[in-house]
A = this chain, B = another copy of it.
């Protein structure tokens, strides 16, 4: 998982329109017109968002007559999620308790050191 991939993935996810497009595509393929419909935004604007998503590898596009069906691609999302996993322990309650325990042990150590 190269840094440039994470750059592009997170940058793509930083826009609410693009997240909404992904949410829509999670329910199945859709073409550009269908994807544009819910937004008060010009069609070229949506095309730009799709290009960002495609360059980030978050979607792929095929061709069906005049239509360009878009499909969500899991890979980069998975990589980003794996990157976040590194931080799971930060909000994991069990770790928090372990952390507290370690803190406690350190304190006791100091007390013992002082006693000795």
Contact = CB atoms under 8 A, between A and B. Distances in A.
Interface of A: 3, 6-8, 10-11, 13-16, 19, 22-23, 26, 72, 74-75, 77-78, 80-81, 83-88, 90-91
B10 A10 contact: yes
A87 to B, nearest CB: 5
A102 B71 CA distance: 18
Given A10-B14, A11-B14, A14-B10, A74 B86 contact: no
B6 A90 contact: no
A96 to B, nearest CB: 9
Contact of A91 (B10, B74, B88): B74
